Amino acid sequence: MKHTNFLRPLAVMLGLALGAPAQAGTYDITVDKIRIDTGTFKKKGIGYNGSQTPTILNFQEGEDVVIRVKNNLRESTSIHWHGLILPFQQDGVPGISFNGIKPGETFTYRFPIEQAGTYWFHSHSGFQEPDGAYGAIVIAPKGGETVHADRDYVVQLTDKHPHSGSRIFRNLKSSADYYNRAQRTAQDLIEDAGAIGLKAALENRKMWGAMRMMPTDIEDVQGFTPLINGASTHQNWTGIFKPGEKVRLRLINSSATTYFDVRLPGLKMTVVQADGNDVKPVAVDELRIAVAETYDVIVQPREAKAYSIIGGKRRPDGNGARHLGPGRGYGRPILQNAAQTFAHHGGYGRHDVWHGSCGYGHGRFGYVGHGSFRPRHERHGHVRDGSFRTRYGRHGYGRHGYVRWYSSGSVRGCNWCRILCTG
Most confident of 143-157, 212-226, 318-332, 345-359: 143-157
Q: Is the pLDDT of residue 410 over 70?
A: no
The domain segmentation of the chain, as residue ranges, is 3-144
* pLDDT value, residue 423: 55
CA dist 37 and 43 (Å) reads 7
Is pLDDT above 80 for 347? no
Q: Work out the pLDDT band at 1, boundaries 50, 70, 90.
A: low
Strands (DSSP E) contained in 221-276 are 225-228, 238-241, 247-253, 260-263, 269-274
Our CA dihedral for 240, 260, 257, 31, rounded to 10 degrees, sits at -10
Query: What's residue 323's pLDDT?
Result: 58
Confidence (pLDDT) at 233: 84
Task: Give Dmax (Cα) for the chain.
Answer: 85
* Span 236-283, pLDDT tens digits: 889 999 999 999 999 999 999 889 999 999 999 999 999 999 999 999
pLDDT of residue 236: 85
Residue 342, pLDDT score:
53
pLDDT computed for residue 420 by the predictor? 65
Please tell me the CATH code under which domain 3-144 is placed: 2.60.40.420
